[in-house]
């Protein structure tokens, strides 16, 4: 005698489906949370690797940070004498991948797209010029590697690590963005340079200038932070919170962590176009003092 075969009833199937939907609703946020945490850890690791590369560069160049880039005369420029700071530390890095934040999936120039007529044959690092402008590690160049104006000339005068009063608190690299699209979404990769949120101290002195007699300081055509410019990369001075509203930063001593936009403006009265002032130098983590 054959045994009877019992099928699931419709109510039973619905109960199973409801349970599966509930489980999926519980597990999907966990999955995204784990994935985002992994990207944040990878980003912190990349920033730490970049800081190690920068410190190796320091050791080879008399304790002096890398210039933003070289400025040879236009008719003398080639891929060997016109390089960005990222290219300069690339020989000390494991690979070019450390200059990218895993949370940034936007399109950006690839190495293959940077070939130009002035490339020096056999020069591996020259291929990264355009790509290096879109690194997610925004360099705090105004303080670490300022470019001063002397007459009609702009001269790079990188600072030394010995000039940093509190290396464990001074931001060297910060998560950055190149531009935002019409939907206010990041686009084009990162920005090789970021600008600080404040400029002058409460006594009126210019924190960008170590010498008050210097007439000008190059600031990358940016005018400071303006949190009201939603949709603009200048909302955070080209910095960008890639990690659930937080940014990865690395300090001059090589420590990497994530902080909120509110944390990295501590010590200054944030206002558009650098109209705010730095009221507490001990809390302001951009200047080298």
Specify the length of the chain in residues: 289
Number of helices (H) and strands (E) in the chain: give both, helices first.
4, 11
Which two three-digit tokens encode residue 105? 């999936």
Task: Output the furthest CA–CA distance in the chain (Å, rounded).
Answer: 106
> SS3 of 107, please?
coil
* Contact status, residue 196 vs residue 234, Cβ threshold 8 Å: no
For the segment 98-122, what is each residue's pLDDT rounded down to a tens digit? Answer: 999 999 988 887 765 444 555 566 6
With tokens 């404040």, the residue in question is 198
Among candidate residues 62, 235, 239, the one with its CA nearest the CA of residue 137 = 239
For the segment 137-168, what is each residue's pLDDT rounded down to a tens digit? Answer: 999 999 999 988 887 778 888 999 999 999 99
Q: What is the pairing mode between strands 277-278 and 179-180?
A: unpaired
Mean pLDDT on 209-223? 79
Instruction: Return the minimum-mean-pLDDT range out of 9-18, 97-106, 131-140, 241-250.
Output: 9-18
Residue of 252 and 125 predicted with greater confidence? 252
> SS3 of 283, please?
coil
* Contact status, residue 91 vs residue 50, Cβ threshold 8 Å: no
Beta bridge partners of 166: none
- SS3 percent helix, strand, coil of the chain, rounded to 5, is 35, 15, 50
Percent of the chain with pLDDT over 70: 83
With tokens 């970021």, the residue in question is 194
Q: What are phi and psi of 53, to 5 degrees?
A: -65, -40
Alpha carbon of 38 to those of 32, 52, 287: distances in Å?
10, 21, 31
Q: What is the pTM of this model?
A: 0.83
H-type alpha helices, the chain: 10-60, 85-89, 129-132, 141-144
For residue 16, the model assigns a pLDDT of 72
Q: Which DSSP string corresponds to 237-269?
A: TTB--TBTTBEEEEETTS-EEEE-TTGGGTTB-
Mean pLDDT on 218-223? 77
For the segment 64-86, what is each residue's pLDDT rounded down to a tens digit? Answer: 999 988 765 555 666 666 789 99
Alpha carbon of 114 to those of 109, 117, 132: distances in Å?
8, 10, 10
For residue 120, the model assigns a pLDDT of 60
């Amino acid at each position: 005698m054959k045994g009877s075969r019992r099928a699931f009833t419709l109510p039973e199937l619905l109960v199973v489906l409801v349970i599966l939907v509930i489980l999926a609703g519980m597990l999907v946020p966990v999955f995204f949370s784990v994935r985002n945490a992994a990207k944040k850890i990878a980003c912190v690791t990349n920033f730490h690797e970049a800081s190690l590369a920068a410190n190796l560069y320091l050791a080879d160049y008399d304790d002096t940070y890398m210039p933003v880039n070289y400025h040879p005369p236009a008719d003398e420029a080639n891929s060997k004498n016109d390089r960005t700071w990222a290219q300069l530390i690339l020989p000390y890095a494991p690979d070019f991948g450390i200059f990218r934040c895993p949370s940034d999936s936007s399109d950006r120039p690839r190495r293959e797209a940077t070939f130009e007529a002035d490339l020096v044959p056999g020069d591996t690092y020259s291929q990264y010029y355009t790509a290096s402008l879109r690194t997610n590690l925004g360099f705090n160049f105004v303080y670490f590697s300022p470019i001063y104006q002397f007459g009609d000339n702009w001269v790079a005068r990188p600072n030394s690590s010995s000039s940093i009063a509190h290396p464990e608190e001074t931001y060297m690299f910060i998560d950055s963005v190149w531009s935002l699209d019409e939907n206010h979404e990041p686009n084009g990769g990162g920005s090789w340079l970021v600008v600080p949120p404040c400029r002058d101290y409460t006594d009126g002195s210019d924190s960008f200038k170590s010498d008050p007699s210097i007439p000008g300081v190059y600031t990358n055509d940016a005018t400071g932070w303006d949190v009201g410019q939603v949709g603009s990369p200048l909302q955070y001075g080209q910095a960008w919170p890639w990690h659930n509203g937080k940014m990865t930063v690395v300090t001059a001593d090589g420590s990497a962590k994530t902080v909120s936009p509110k944390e990295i403006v501590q010590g200054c009265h944030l206002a558009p176009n650098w109209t705010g002032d730095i009221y507490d130098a001990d809390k302001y983590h951009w200047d080298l003092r």
